[in-house]
Structure 1
Amino acid sequence: MNDSVIESYEGYRSVDLESRAASASPYELVLVLFDGLLDELARARGHIEGKRYQQKGQSLEKCLNILNGLNGALDYDNGGELVQGLSRLYDYCIYRLSDVSVTLSLEGLDEVVHLLEVLREGWEGVNEKRGGR
């Protein structure tokens, strides 16, 4: 793909993400973040496989920022054991992605993707039970 096609796609994705986030409930917003995170992890995988290490670093940095944002948004005062468990899981994913950045381990990346897919399914279930889309 040439650079102008990539830039056009990135612009479209940005507008789509902004419009989805603007109309989202808090639960739907978490799902939007998970979707963006999983998309970026897929891009990081492609960058590792394609030996595009600078882009790999940028993708993983975005992933780490999203995970830190999810972790920081947890309600530690009212969430109890569930929030503590989610925080530990987010921290573990951050640790693994930091390791992947150095080792280029696709197995480590796949582990994080699997964990996040399971978490996303859980958030989707909560959203549906609360009457979300």
Structure 2
Amino acid sequence: MTKPYQNYIRQEVEGATKGKLVLLLYDGAIKFMRIAVLAMEEGKIPEAHNNIMKAQNIVYELMSSLNMDAGEISQNLLRLYDFMIWSLIEANKSKDKAKVESAISVMCELREAWKGVVEQEERGNSSIEAASKSINFAG
């Protein structure tokens, strides 16, 4: 028997646009980094390590999904993702929560920017759908 939350997440992912999937990845990375910071504060080193690794895996996934033909934006994102990976590796080695918090800050800014893109895309699609409904294709 599956739990309602798991069903909700599965449906959210299966029905998500590419833009929304990126938002979900950002949300996951932020969540794991925040858990890692709390674990460091509580001295739970294995838990901190595991959550940093989960966040790193998400950032690697974001890196691999970049369209490098898109130009300067992709290059800039790649540099930011690379910075986050470096911060997380260093944080994991030294158990320095400030480095994780730095990565969280960057990820939150990227998430907000991406959220704006997704919302703009959704408004554009709504406008197209509304316009197509008002056109009489029957003649």
TM range (shorter): 0.7 to 0.9
The structure 1 segments of at least 4 consecutive aligned residues displaced by more than 2 Å after TM superposition are 11-19
1:104, distance to aligned residue in structure 2 (A) = 1.4
Native 8 Å contact 1:71 1:90 kept in 2: yes
Native 8 Å contact 1:41 1:109 kept in 2: yes
CA distance in 1, matches of 2:104, 2:87: 11
CA distance in 2, matches of 1:103, 1:34: 24
The one-letter amino acid of 1:118's match is E
CA distance in 2, matches of 1:84, 1:14: 35
- C-alpha change, 1:21 and 1:85, in structure 2 (3 Å) is same
Residue 24 of structure 1 aligns to a residue whose secondary structure is coil
TM-score for both structures, normalised by structure 2: 0.81
1:19, distance to aligned residue in structure 2 (A) = 2.4
- C-alpha change, 1:12 and 1:90, in structure 2 (3 Å) is farther
For structure 2, the 5+ residue unaligned runs are 124-139
TM-score for both structures, normalised by structure 1: 0.85
2:85 equivalent to 1:94: yes
CA distance in 1, matches of 2:13, 2:119: 17
Aligned-residue identity in percent: 26
For structure 1, the 5+ residue unaligned runs are 1-10
Q: How many residues align?
A: 122
RMSD: 1.8
CA distance in 1, matches of 2:48, 2:121: 37
1:17, distance to aligned residue in structure 2 (A) = 3.2
CA distance in 2, matches of 1:14, 1:95: 32
Q: Residue 47 of structure 2 is aligned with which of 42, 52, 55? A: 55
**Number of the residue aligned with 1:27:** 19
- Larger Rg belongs to: 2
